[in-house]
């Protein structure tokens, strides 16, 4: 098979002139947490039909598809899940992706439960550049109720230290804020991570998938979060690192560091969205709130050439019109959307 020349060409653009720059790769639909906003236990419990090994993309298939995306302009990969660290030998995939010309930014989002010192070092040595760890409260009672598997805060904080110790810089921390559940943890989280170099990001509770019981009344708007923090530690806006960055950036006026806000509900950023998502079973989704995937697993297993995969990706993205968060309504909320556990965040 002739290898793809993976050096990026001019990025393909969609129907709203948005380039393809980022690929989020879900490596598994499984997770060892049952977070209430992502994989509620009553749905994802015993008997749930998780993917079998042969249904998931192999590391070689993921790498082949990733090269096709780079040929269409992708510059960054992010590994997600489910929980990516439950996929055995995930550092091998990192190493394979790191060999692709034209991409020097490989990141991962994890709940941190399996990020031991040894695993952190293996990922770093394999070529992982950045890591984001999820933590929704410093209060053990609240956090355990949200992850629903009795996992303690202390072990997530250990994971943060493990990531810092091997040189991940910056380490980012994601907190999903849900009204009536953990909004009172916002200030404690901000205080804990000030002056640590860790960038804390607050995420509005989103209507991803169809099983998390989302209601607008459960959303704590970004403006409210910022006002809470500003009242204690004044903050000021920071310019984005690049066009299409998902988080708006803010810094403490006293030099205590940086925070971010991801507010797809109250401040949609569809107009700059440059992200595609590859599910662990090889479906391409062009929106986090997608209802339809495009089967790349069947394509790569059918014996087509690499050039055919490149053209398939180009054709899908060039027809993209997604802007769910801008048109969210009572009608769209009830759509049967793909679950976050299948395509990552």
Question: Is residue 262 very low, low, confident or very high in pLDDT (cuts 50, 70, 90)?
Answer: very high
| Residue 1 lies inside a defined structural domain of this protein | no
Q: How far apart are CA 185 and CA 187, in angstroms?
A: 6
Rounded to an integer, the average pLDDT of 213-224 is 87
The CATH code of the domain that includes 119 is: 3.20.20.70
Work out the average pLDDT over 154-177.
97
5 pLDDT above the threshold of 50:
no
With respect to residue 11, please indicate whether it lies within any of the assigned structural domains: no
Cβ neighbours of residue 10 closer than 8 Å, sequence gap 6 or more: 73
Domain count, the chain: 1
Q: What is the DSSP string of 61-92?
A: HHHHHHHHHHTTT--EEEEESS-GGGSTTHHH
**For position 325, what pLDDT does the model report?**
77
> C-alpha distances in angstroms, 172 versus 1, 135, 285?
39, 10, 25
Flag whether 8 is in a domain.
Answer: no
* Residue 40 confidence (pLDDT): 87
Which pLDDT tens digit goes with each residue over 103-131? Answer: 989 999 999 999 999 999 999 999 999 99
Q: Would residue 179 count as lying in a domain?
A: yes
Q: How far is CA 90 from the centre of its chain?
A: 16
Residue 236 lies in a domain: yes
Tell me, yes or no, whether 13 lies in a domain.
Answer: no
Domain assignment of residue 16, yes or no:
no
Q: List the domain range (segments joined by +) for residue 143.
A: 22-343
Task: Say if 216 falls within a structural domain.
Answer: yes
- 271-286 burial by CB neighbour count: b if 16+ within 10 A, else e? ebbbbbbbbbbbbbbb
Quick: pLDDT tens for 44-72.
988 899 999 999 999 999 999 999 999 99
Q: What is the CA radius of gyration of the chain?
A: 19
Q: What pTM, to 2 d.p., does this model score? A: 0.93
């Amino acid at each position: 098979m002739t290898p793809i020349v993976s050096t990026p060409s001019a990025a393909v653009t969609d129907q709203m002139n948005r380039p393809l720059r980022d690929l989020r790769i879900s490596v598994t639909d499984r997770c060892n947490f049952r977070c209430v906003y992502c994989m509620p236990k009553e749905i994802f419990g015993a008997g749930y039909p998780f993917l079998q090994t042969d249904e998931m993309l192999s590391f070689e298939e993921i790498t082949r598809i990733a090269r096709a995306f780079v040929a269409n302009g992708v510059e960054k990969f992010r590994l997600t899940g489910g929980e990516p660290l439950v996929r055995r030998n995930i550092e091998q995939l990192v190493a394979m992706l790191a060999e692709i010309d034209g991409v020097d930014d490989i990141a991962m989002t994890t709940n941190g439960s399996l990020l031991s010192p040894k695993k952190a070092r293996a990922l770093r040595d394999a070529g992982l550049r950045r890591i984001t760890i999820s933590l929704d409260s410093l209060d053990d009672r609240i956090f355990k109720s949200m992850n629903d598997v009795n996992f303690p805060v202390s072990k997530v904080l250990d994971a943060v230290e493990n990531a810092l110790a091997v040189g991940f810089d910056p380490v980012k921390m994601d907190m999903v804020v849900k009204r009536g559940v953990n909004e009172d943890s916002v200030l404690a989280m901000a205080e804990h991570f000030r002056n640590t170099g860790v960038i804390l990001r607050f995420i509005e509770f989103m209507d991803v998938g169809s099983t998390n019981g989302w209601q607008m009344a459960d959303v704590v708007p970004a403006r409210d979060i910022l006002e809470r923090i500003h009242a204690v530690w004044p903050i000021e806006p920071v310019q984005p690192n690049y066009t299409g960055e998902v988080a708006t950036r803010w810094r403490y006026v006293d030099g205590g560091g940086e925070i971010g806000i991801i507010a797809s509900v109250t401040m949609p950023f569809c107009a700059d969205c440059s992200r595609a998502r590859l599910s662990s079973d090889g479906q391409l989704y062009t929106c986090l709130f997608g209802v339809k995937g495009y089967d790349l697993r069947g394509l790569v297993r059918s014996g087509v050439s690499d050039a055919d995969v490149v053209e398939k990706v180009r054709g899908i993205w060039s027809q993209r019109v997604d802007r769910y968060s801008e048109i969210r309504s009572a009608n769209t909320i009830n759509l049967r959307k793909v679950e976050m556990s299948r395509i990552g965040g």
